Structure 1
Amino acid sequence: MAFLAQFRAAPNLLTMVRLFTIPFIVIEILDGNFGVAFALFILAGISDGFDGLLARWLDQKTTLGLYLDPIADKLLLSTLFLVLTHVGIIPRYVTVLVFSRDFGILLIATLLFATHTLRDFRPSLFGKLNTLVQIVALLTILGEKAFSSHQFTTLNATLVRSIAFLAPLSAAQYAWIVIQRLHSAEDPPRRSAPKTGLAQISAVEGADPSGSTDRVAS
């Protein structure tokens, strides 16, 4: 599919709708309209779930969508952390840790991609957990403000502290995985020692050294 045509694919249109909701969520939070901000965040979450389903149902998996979807997700979460820190809801140190982690991973991935060292960057276990906790935390924080409920105050504080712990931990795990994969790429494949005598004949003919022609299943 041509690059410009990829913009017209239904899953990518849905992803771009999610991108377009970000400034409106920011505006509503700054204006104190947390109910609208909460509804828009839910809408963004629904679009995130449906764009993947549409890509499979309509067979419209595109290169643009491969990059656009995670960019939209990360931009949405990072922007919300920034604006909620600005209005004094999320502690500054948590947002600093989140941004430091994301910037570090982005920098490493860009360098490895640009130098053709690695091109496959899979999310780590702690990275997935970190993203999940961020989504739940933002959902409960906006919900608490939208409905003027203090039911989730303790939960929110726990989730925010968990994010501060998981952000550097997931960054460390990601760095370790990259180092391991780089070492694996540098190590040449080991060749087994050449077989001699009866062992070589056995390997070629499929017979054991005792003379039996029956193959032994490993």
Structure 2
Amino acid sequence: MTLPNLITIARLFMVPLVVAAIGAGRWQAAFVVFVLAGLSDAVDGFIARRWNMRSELGAYIDPFADKALLVSIYVALSVAGALPGWVAIVVVSRDVMIVSAIVMSWLLERPMAMRPLAVSKINTAAQIAFAAIVLAANAFDLPLGPGFDVGVLVIVVLTLLSAGAYLALWLRHMAV
């Protein structure tokens, strides 16, 4: 058990806290916990790389913690009425598709290692930034204006591009 893994596990415990805060309408608390979760992700990655504390456990739980946080945030923001429900469905569907493809390849005895694609990294960064903006707008009563619609469009387009890229990769792998 390394320090980065402990930080990642702490991030996992932040997921229900931020969701509960959103559900209770405690937007400032939700924003603070979300920012702390984001900082913990940066810190655990820095420590793991800087002091060579990478581990197999960390390779699994870090992306799991990231996805748990993002999926939970988008669903909670949707349920709270801060995001359209269909946006959460797009975000969640992409992740379900990726996990399903991995499980299917494993069941068909054609396992494949999934590595983050560039479009996926951009998508994740955009999803985090947009969730933070929506949380901040609710926490500090800031108007989003037309930037909200632009943000939704960017998130949906990037999520669909990322899903398509992973689907193409998976199809090529399964065809060989």
Q: Give the TM bin, normalised by the shorter chain.
A: over 0.9
Aligned to 1:134: 127
**C-alpha displacement of 1:138:** 0.3
Aligned partner of 2:49 among 45, 51, 56: 56
Structure 2 residue runs without a partner (length 5+) = none
Q: Secondary structure at the match of 2:91?
A: helix
Q: Deviations over 1:48-75 (max 9, x none)?
A: 0011111123322111100000000000
Q: 1:22 — aligned with what?
A: 15
Deviates more, 1:174-183 or 1:61-70: 174-183
Alignment of 1:111 onto 2:104: yes
Q: Deviations over 1:83-139 (max 9, x none)?
A: 111111110111111111111111001222344423321222322222111111101
Instruction: Give structure 1 regions of 4+ aligned residues with deviation exceeding 3 angstroms.
Output: 113-116
* Shift of residue 47, structure 1, vs aligned partner: 0.4
Q: Paired residue for 2:160?
A: 168
For 2:5 and 2:98, the matched residues in 1 are separated by: 24
Check conservation: 1:21, 1:44, Cα contact below 8 A: yes
Which AA in structure 2 matches 1:94?
V
What are the superposed Cα offsets for residues 157-199 of structure 1, whole Å, 9 maximum, x if unpaired?
Answer: 211122222222221111112223444xx3xxxxxxxxxxxxx
By how many angstroms is 1:156 displaced? 2.5
Question: Partners in 1 of 2:58 and 2:106 — Cα distance?
Answer: 18
SS in 2 for 1:74: helix
AA aligned to 1:92 is: G
Once the two structures are aligned, what percentage of the paired residues are identical? 34
Q: Which amino acid letter does the alignment assign opposite residue 156 of structure 2?
A: A
Unaligned runs of 5+ in 1: 1-7, 187-218
Q: What's the TM-score once normalised by structure 2's chain length?
A: 0.92
1:3-42 equivalence runs, <5 A: 8-42=1-35
1:158 aligns with one of 137, 150, 153: 150
Match of 1:85 in 2: 78
Please tell me whether residue 96 in structure 1 is matched to residue 67 in structure 2: no
Query: Which structure exhibits the higher relative contact order, with contacts defined as CA atoms closer than 8 Å and separated by 6 or more residues?
Result: 2
Structure 1 or 2: more helix by fraction: 2
CA-to-partner distance for each residue in 1:8-53, whole Å, 9 max, x for gaps? Answer: 3100000011011111111111121111111111100010001111
Aligned length: 176
Q: TM-score, normalised by structure 1?
A: 0.76
Is the 1:11–1:52 contact (alpha carbons within 8 Å) kept by the matching residues of 2?
yes
Partner Cα separation in structure 1 for residue 112 and residue 171 of structure 2: 14
Larger CA Rg, structure 1 vs 2: 1
Match for 2:93: what amino acid? Answer: S
CA distance in 1, matches of 2:27, 2:59: 31
Whether the 8 Å contact between 1:140 and 1:156 is mirrored in structure 2 is no
